[in-house]
Amino acid sequence: MVSLFDHKVSELHQLLHKKEITVTDLVSESYKRIGEVEDKVQAFLTLDEERARQAAKRMDGKLGTDEAKGLLFGMPIGVKDNIVTKGLRTTSASKILENFDPIYDATAASKLHNAETITIGKLNMDEFAMGSSNENSGFQVTRNPWNLERVPGGSSGGSAASVAAGEVLFSLGSDTGGSIRQPASYCGVVGLKPTYGRVSRFGLIAFASSLDQIGPITRTVEDNAYLLQAISGVDPMDSTSANVEVPSYAESLNGDVKGLRIAVPKEYLAEGVNEEVRQSVLEALKVLEKLGATWEEVSLPHSKYALATYYLLSSSEASANLARFDGVRYGYRTADPENLIDLYKKTRAEGFGDEVKRRIMLGTFALSSGYYDAYYKKAQKVRTLIKQDFENVFEKYDVIIGPTAPTPAFKIGENTSDPLTMYANDILTIPVNLAGVPGISVPCGFADGLPLGLQIIGKHFDESTVYRVAHAFEQATEYHKQKPGL
């Protein structure tokens, strides 16, 4: 089925410029497709159709003028529901924020306004971004467009599924332990987690502040680079955003990987990684070799400790961050509390889902008096070792390559009984967040009709090299051209 969204941003921009299409056409394409497939995919929690159509009409008047020169002018985007959007309901997929109406924009959202994209709606996710399947959403389970019985991945499941299904041109997600890359892999699209500090977290409803990053999900690497360009940069509202120059990412997409040194961690192709996934990565390495890159096996020896480290640190940070949801200033409040403490306790017990409570409990325990050193501080120390693993490898290599996830998308309900099995899905993405480096997932094959993703990891603030490699691989292969038969 032909869609306007089969075009890249740069092509659509040209079509707008020549007035062969209008912004209204692009917005209509989104809502038409949503009308066709959304009852199956269920990617959206909130749609903003009236305002989007009004904006499109207004912007059509600017076509052909200097005011329409911006590359992202008029492009329809979906935004993950943990990124606050002024006047557009934002829930983080939690009952505790069911009717929350933000009074300001996240910095990433205001940068989208400046770039003049059009927000189509807010996308489903695991509640407070805690999950790998979207089954932890407080409202609905998004389906994988490639197979409706499978999960889209998570936590940015709605962000990846909506792009794969052609409901939007591109979207924003957030990634704390793999939440952009894993769903991108499962849905056959391109997802990048930027370097920690590259994109402002102001207005991103915090899960684990030392790990969270907002990032783009797109059909192509080129579009991904353009979207990251628009949302990057230091922000006075987020003191952890980095004052590091933002290069022109599109300029790095030159297809040249001659002499590139690739490291392949043996831990990333070890037991637990599905055979078809392993083969797809080895095939991808052959493609890059043909283009002039070389690869060697290396070791990230502390990989097996990453999962435990991550769950201690992210849950500890979450337990502190989620303390603000207490039924006082905003969000859900329990009916008829006996006193203030009772108001807090019942509000939170009724408002949060099971997984969120489980992590708040683990985090509160790990931070509590008598256990802090043994669990929280211990995990912070192991984090240093994991970070050093990456530093050591990056002394000799330009990028690290492996699978994004150990398997293709699993069945809905398959992993819900045991949280630890579910957590194991993120084993190849978590170390990247712990080290704070950038990582991308690009389509690299199929297993039983389900997409697989190749993960390319770079040095701090070296998104340019990550994009260059991802783009060269993408241009040499056909996987990204396939679409789900919805």
Applying CB under 8 A, the residues found at the interface with another protein are 100-101, 103-104, 196-197, 210, 236, 239-240, 242, 302, 304-305, 307-309, 311-312, 319, 323, 326-333, 337-346, 348-349, 352, 357-358, 360-362, 364-366, 368, 375, 377-385, 387, 419-420, 434-436, 460
Q: Which of 155, 162, 232, 241 is catalytic?
A: 155
Both ends of the chain: CA-CA distance in Å?
Answer: 9
Catalytic residue among 156, 159, 179, 241: 179
CB of residue 244 vs another protein: minimum separation in angstroms?
9
Catalytic residue among 30, 80, 133, 314: 80
Active site residue 155: yes
CB 80 within 8 A of CB 174: yes
Give the residue among 449, 354, 360 at the shortest CA–CA distance from 408. Answer: 449
Q: Which residues of 21-47 are buried (b: 16+ CB within 10 A; e: fewer)?
A: bbbbbbbbbbbebbeebbeebbbbbbb
Residue 380, token pair as written in the block: 């912070």
Please say which residue, 122 or 460, places its beta carbon nearer to another protein: 460
What are 44's strand-pairing partners?
123
User: Least distance from C-beta 371 to another protein, angstroms?
Assistant: 9
Q: Least distance in Å: CB of 389 to another protein?
A: 12
Q: Whose Cβ is closer to another protein: residue 101's or residue 283's? A: 101
* Cβ distance to another protein smaller for residue 139 or 305: 305
Least Å distance between CB 195 and another protein?
8
Active site (annotated) includes residue 179: yes
Name the minimum Å distance from CB 100 to another protein: 6
Whose Cβ is closer to another protein: residue 286's or residue 381's? 381
| Residues designated as active site | 80, 155, 179
